[in-house]
Amino acid sequence: MSLSFGAHVSVAGGVDKAFARAEVFDMEAIQVFTKSERQWKAKPLPDDVVERWFDERTRTGIDKIVTHASYLINLASPKDDLRTKSIVGYQEELERCDTLAIPYLVIHPGSHTGSGEELGLAAVADSLNRIHENLPDAKVTTLLETTAGQGTNLGSSFEELAAIIDQVEAKDRVMVCLDTCHIFAAGYDFRTEAGYADVMGRFDNTIGVDRLKAIHLNDSKFPLGSRRDRHDHIGEGEIGLDGFRYLVNDPRLIGIPGLLETEKGDDDIEDGRNLQTLRGLVAASV
């Protein structure tokens, strides 16, 4: 038993198409976009597509599903117009998730763009509080994603994510998604058994392992602490196989969606190769 392995899957042709693509590689979990990640606006989900989504979900048995919010959204922005637009955009994404009964929506905490970390973190929490007030009955849980720490991006330390959660009133509506490439680029070294124990111990003490609801499984093209977000195939980057070996054999993480965000190659063949690598590590001795 280990993570529920899967990948970010294309929804080209309709969100319902994701399941058949995941089925090819025996995925147990998927991550999708419910709209273009590079645009603010999106057409409503057609009723027939929603119906097929649930039919395919039942047919394949793939029920561990995560979606990712648009990269345009910045809940930390000090600019009132952009933050208001981001709040509205994020609410729309939450509503789309509710339509599809997707339990988790991953979002980057945002960038303070010069206002400073303290104000930026407070802005993220305030945005979430406003969203929760506007959508009191939404069933979707927000997953704050760990980041690499590029520029003025927030969320590169466990303490920053904890600071956001501390200021959110409905704490049960905000959990965490850990990205292996991002935390490595931010300076967390989990490539040895002792290092992994230390990093996860710090996460547990600062945030709580019980708040970890999804993991992005990506190796890193750049060295420890580089603060550069460039994903590599599992075991072929600066993290290497051992860091992933400790993670996939951690009994505390059994059943959590473990999702690839690596380059896919023709016909998504690289997803199959990376999944095979990960599954092979589960059988290996730690």
Helix 80-100, helix 117-134: angle, nearest 10: 50
Q: Which one of 8, 21, 68, 112 is the catalytic residue?
A: 68
Q: Which one of 8, 21, 83, 108 is the catalytic residue?
A: 108
Which residues make beta-bridge pairs with 215? 178, 258
233 is catalytic: no
Q: Which one of 83, 211, 231, 245 is the catalytic residue?
A: 231
Which residue blocks in the chain are alpha helix, DSSP H? Answer: 18-23, 47-60, 80-100, 117-134, 158-167, 180-185, 193-206, 240-248, 269-283
Q: Are 170 and 210 in contact (CB under 8 A)?
A: no
Residue 10: half-sphere exposure toward Cβ, Cα within 13 Å? 12
71 is catalytic: yes
Q: What's the angle, vertex CA 9, arms to CA 226 and CA 112, rounded to 5?
A: 40
Q: Which one of 51, 55, 71, 193 is the catalytic residue?
A: 71
Q: Which one of 16, 28, 56, 145 is the catalytic residue?
A: 145
What the block records as the tokens of 36 is 């273009």
Q: Which one of 229, 238, 242, 271 is the catalytic residue?
A: 229
Long-range Cβ contacts of 266-272 (<8 Å, 24+ apart): 268/7, 268/10, 268/21, 268/24, 268/25, 270/233, 271/7, 271/25, 272/24, 272/25
112 is catalytic: no
Q: Which one of 232, 250, 261, 268 is the catalytic residue?
A: 261
What the block records as the tokens of 191 is 């490539």
Q: Are 256 and 266 in contact (CB under 8 A)?
A: no
179 is catalytic: yes
108 is catalytic: yes
Q: How far apart are CA 244 and CA 239, in angstroms?
A: 8
Q: Which one of 96, 112, 182, 211 is the catalytic residue?
A: 182
Q: Which one of 16, 160, 179, 242 is the catalytic residue?
A: 179
Q: How far apart are CA 173 and CA 169, in angstroms?
A: 9
Residues with catalytic function: 38, 68, 71, 108, 145, 179, 182, 216, 229, 231, 261
